[in-house]
Structure 1
Amino acid sequence: MCPVPARSGAAPRQASLADLGRPLSDLTFVVVDLETTGGSPATSEITEIGAVKVRGGQVLGEMSSLVRASTPIPPVVSVLTGITDSMLATAPTLDEVVPTFLEFSRGAVLVAHNAAFDLGFLRAAAQACGYPVPAWEHLDTVLIARRVVTRDEAPNCRLASLATLFGSPTEPNHRALADARATVAVLHGLFERLGNLGVTTLEDVREYSARVSPAQRRKRHLADDLPTGPGVYVFRDGADRPLYVGTSRSVRSRVRTYFTASEPRSRMAQMVALAERVDAIGCAHALEAEVRELRLIAEHKPPFNRRSRHPERAVYLRLTDELFPRLSRVRSVGDGVTYLGPFGSTQAAQEAEIALLAAVPLRQCSARLSPSRPTAACALAELGRCGAPCDGRQGVAEYAEVVGAAREAMSGDPGAVQESLEAHIARLAAEQRYEQAAEVRDRLAGYLRTAARRQRLAALTGIPEMVAAAPTADAGWDLSVIRHGRLVSAATVARGVDPRPWVDAVVATAETVRPAPGPTPCALVEETERIGRWLAAPGVRLVRLEGEWSWPAQGAIRAALRYAT
């Protein structure tokens, strides 16, 4: 064995096993998964614990237990997991389950998929039961997967996607033990890949996630002359092509992190290797920086940006303009049409279409119908899912009532869709068909989110001009001028300065916009949505408003809150 270099003036010493690291094959891991009543340990409770103990690729034991909760399980959670209040009525309490788990996991390295969630609940549970909170060593399979799994192999790092990639014999199903077993398969698959890279000890795994190449460090000088305030930065290659666009409240500090171990995304290392220059655009405040980022990404479509590159690919669901309207999926919509959207994908639009048709019996055939030329009805008429305007059983006036209900569900009150699908969910849950109920619930939640999105966008884009101010940390004001949902001017007013002349100045120098047809006449959808979130932040004040800013009292925005995740 080679001696380990000692500090200056000290004698060399022999390397120990601790210096070499602890081989993964010699360690005991406890892979754990929890089911809970919600997302926060402060307000939610554990309903199920599942754990699998493994060592050297072999399963040593398993632990699984339901946990009696002190409050009812929310219906949405019950549909997702299949765990009901009646199942927990005779389950052991948290005081009984926690000591069993602490003993089961003693001396082991904990593993979880999204470990921060599970460890947060476990620490809170130990504390609530009067036990010292263990200083668990742990690994997070999500973080490891982000380093070794490419997007070509799996669309994301969710447990279901990784379980499929690594051929897990157990399919994750939102039950604790099944998900823990699936995580074991993912863990072993990740360890196999890490072993091929020479990562064989627990210390190696931790170091691997923080690895920075010398070439990456040598480019730190690219951040030296960048502004220290809020703004947008653009990494460019030797041919001056944009590689990546980002934003930060402190551009120089953020860009420096790309050359250090604090940047965990492996694709960013590839981007930095290609980068030869970093340009920056200083902005008045964070909102302006975020808006400029969205515009630059949409314009240049940098290869290392994953989001916001293709706003033109949005999908809308619209009612056709004909005597017997039907639903149609389109890429754009003009003024004066009834539509729902935008959707991020055709699949999402199709799910919303299924939800709407389950509540409103619009025709689903694509032929152009005329009362003077009846045609044979399809099977949907016999099933009661269409009034058959094709063969004359439903006249123009009767069908117009159906179309009116569809218009209301798409642009006003989605109550008909919500009532229909919630009744379907209840029937499926009563029959213990929880997976199908979860699918219908997700479909309803997606419909309501999109309907709420449409109403927020319509409300904001209909305002000719709005001036708003947000308080800054140093008691100043961030000013924004918004016209038809587009940020057209921005400024920051320092503490103690009268903001009124500044308001006049930012309005006078604001960009002139000419509304185009469509739901977002002057800006990208994401820009208008980002402005909407900024306006809803605590402390933001309306300074001037031309027109009105409102949405339906019984509309989708209120309904969507029930299914917010």
Structure 2
Amino acid sequence: MEYAVQGTLDELGTPLEQITFVVFDLETTGVSAGEHAITEIGAVKVRGGEVLGEFGTLVDPGSPIPPFISVLTGITDAMVVAAPKIESVLPSFLEFAEGATLVAHNAGFDMSFIKAACAALGYPPPAHPVVDTVVLARRLLTRDEAPNCKLSTLARIFSRTEPCHRALADAQATVDVLHALLERAGSFGVHTLEELKGFVRAPTAEQRRKRHLADGVPSGPGVYVFEDDRGDPLYVGKSTNLRNRVRSYFTAAETRPRIREMVGLAERIRTITCATPLEAEVRELRLIGSAKPRYNRRSRFPEKMVWLKLTDEPFPRLSVVREVRDDGAAYLGPFGGVRAAEDARAALHETIPLRQCTERITPRAGRPACALAGIGRCGAPCEGRQSVEEYGLHVTAARRAMELDSAEVFSAIEARMERLSLDQRYEEAAADRDRLASYVRTCARMQRLRALTSLPQMVAAAPVTGGAWEIHVVRHGRLASAGVMPRGAHPTPFVDALVATAETVVPGPGPVPAASAEETECVLRWLEGPGVRLVQVEGDWSLPIGGAGRLKARIDRAYQAREPHRPRDGRPLR
């Protein structure tokens, strides 16, 4: 005889309305928990939808706050000079959070700093359960509801509190996001903390039903294409091991709502095996650009890239264009959108007094000057105050700043940002920061691209497991051929055969004359990898000595303080 056994409360789990959540956020001096420090902690304690308490304090990091970080957060050295150090703040925060479940937006970033502080001060690492609202949002929200899972995006949907670069305000916004997501999870039968953890990890019924689509997928590098019942591509991806990657789409490891939706529509998976991982990466980009699958977010519209053009006329100006022509003009780009190009143009105009009017001007033009001439921002060639030769000095400076040396523009705008920050005009300083970032990042990118695309041909090799070698032929920045030379093979005939069968590449105009910028960047990443050997190089592979790469590193460090590493979404600038 079998007897029914009543489950214990432990087996049923802890109801979410009985859970005490401590929702917290940090401001820091950088992205690395091992190298940078906390400047502010904000936390809100809630249970059953009711706020039980708040915790907020600035923290003296023990070192100067970088100017870019001050612009991002509004926290300056003067604000933290009298603040307590982390030695005093951490015990208070841990006491505030005792017995609670910790919640953060992109919790991995914030928890890494808390754990690093605990380790440095001799405290055991926090053993609290952790809920990440980013992961929860990806599981519960569709792309139509939220285009991304940034805190600023979710707060606009679910909260009356706008994230404003300060820890407590951002924690308050995250509380509203958490409550909205928990309410949404309830409709899926999630009512306990244990069910919430399992829900985030569990595959959907549709994922389980479609597992057979992964049968027969080969191992090794290549590209996979999810197709619907009509054979139209839904999603294109690449992997160094096709079998393992495709199988992961039908497991709990795949939590992205839009991808789970895509799996439900897929009827077959087509695979394309490739010789090397780099070839797979390039083929993926080309397929996405040509087929434009609706579930791919990136790389779908390479033709929508825009450029900043220094026009070829007697009195050149900076113009945002969508096409690179063989017309003698100087180009900077590509930019992901018009706004980024306009930001870079504003950065150049801030330093170099080029005209900003759109009319074509000739040396004999005679029109009244605009207001920019009155404030010294333009030499008024339209009124004949500048000759072609005099104006040409500014044109030369602009071309140099676009192609060779970004230091003058960087120094001028950085000095202006520091003045604005001292005057507490943070919004204006932030606008200058974004303009400078757009300009410097694009200059650095273009200089790296141009260094490779100027080479008619490069052959390079990298060692792989078992003594084999990956060999790639690159022409004008485009991958023209790929192969794996087995161990013990003679390299000369193998390389000669690979070069002889490589794609013929006829370059066009501009810095990326034969491939998309993304493809050339893929090739560059591979070339800069460990163990790569240059076999043949036609031309000189070099960067300008005053190039923007060193300046880009400074800007990236500042932005990464607010954008911890995370696939694709990134952390928002809060």
- Cα 1:105–1:474 shift into 2, 3 Å: farther
1:33 lines up with 2:25 in the alignment:
yes
**337-346 or 70-79, larger mean C-alpha shift:** 70-79
Tell me what 1:446 maps to.
Answer: 438
Contact kept, 8 Å, 1:216 with 1:259, in 2: the verdict is yes
TM-score, with normalisation over the residues of structure 1? 0.95
Residues matched between the structures, number: 556
Tell me what 2:468 maps to.
Answer: 476
TM-fit CA distance, 1:272: 1.5
Deviations 1:79-122, CA, capped at 9 Å, x for gaps: 21222333333322222111111110011110001000111111
Tell me what 1:209 maps to.
Answer: 200
Contact kept, 8 Å, 1:48 with 1:65, in 2: the verdict is yes
1:102 lines up with 2:128 in the alignment:
no
1:162-561 pair list within 5 angstroms: 162-169=154-161, 171-335=162-326, 336-561=328-553
Residues of 2 paired with 1:378 and 1:146: CA distance?
51
Q: Which amino acid aligns with 2:56?
A: S
Residues of 2 paired with 1:436 and 1:148: CA distance?
37
Residues of 2 paired with 1:253 and 1:530: CA distance?
22
**470-479 or 369-378, larger mean C-alpha shift:** 470-479
TM-fit CA distance, 1:10: 8.4
Contact kept, 8 Å, 1:342 with 1:450, in 2: the verdict is yes
Q: Which amino acid aligns with 1:548?
A: D
Tell me what 1:116 maps to.
Answer: 108
- Cα 1:137–1:496 shift into 2, 3 Å: farther
Highest RCO, 1 vs 2 (Cα 8 Å, sep ≥ 6): 2
Contact kept, 8 Å, 2:331 with 2:510, in 1: the verdict is no
Residues of 2 paired with 1:16 and 1:511: CA distance?
68
Residues of 2 paired with 1:89 and 1:324: CA distance?
51
SS of structure 2 residue aligned to 1:111 = strand
Contact kept, 8 Å, 1:468 with 1:540, in 2: the verdict is yes
Deviations 1:277-310, CA, capped at 9 Å, x for gaps: 1111111111110000001111111111111010
2:125 pairs, out of 126, 133, 140, with 133
Tell me what 2:76 maps to.
Answer: 84
Tell me what 1:6 maps to.
Answer: none
TM-score, with normalisation over the residues of structure 2? 0.93
Residues of 2 paired with 1:90 and 1:11: CA distance?
67
Tell me what 1:3 maps to.
Answer: none
Query: Structure 1 segments of 4 or more deviating over 6 A?
Result: none
TM-fit CA distance, 1:405: 1.2
TM-fit CA distance, 1:451: 0.7
Residues of 2 paired with 1:98 and 1:167: CA distance?
28
Tell me what 2:566 maps to.
Answer: none
Deviations 1:435-489, CA, capped at 9 Å, x for gaps: 3222211221121000111111111111011011122244432111101101111
**253-262 or 160-169, larger mean C-alpha shift:** 160-169
Residues of 1 paired with 2:492 and 2:31: CA distance?
43
Residues of 2 paired with 1:405 and 1:124: CA distance?
47
Contact kept, 8 Å, 1:333 with 1:339, in 2: the verdict is yes
Contact kept, 8 Å, 1:230 with 1:249, in 2: the verdict is yes
Residue identity (%): 58
Residues of 1 paired with 2:306 and 2:505: CA distance?
25
SS of structure 2 residue aligned to 1:217 = helix
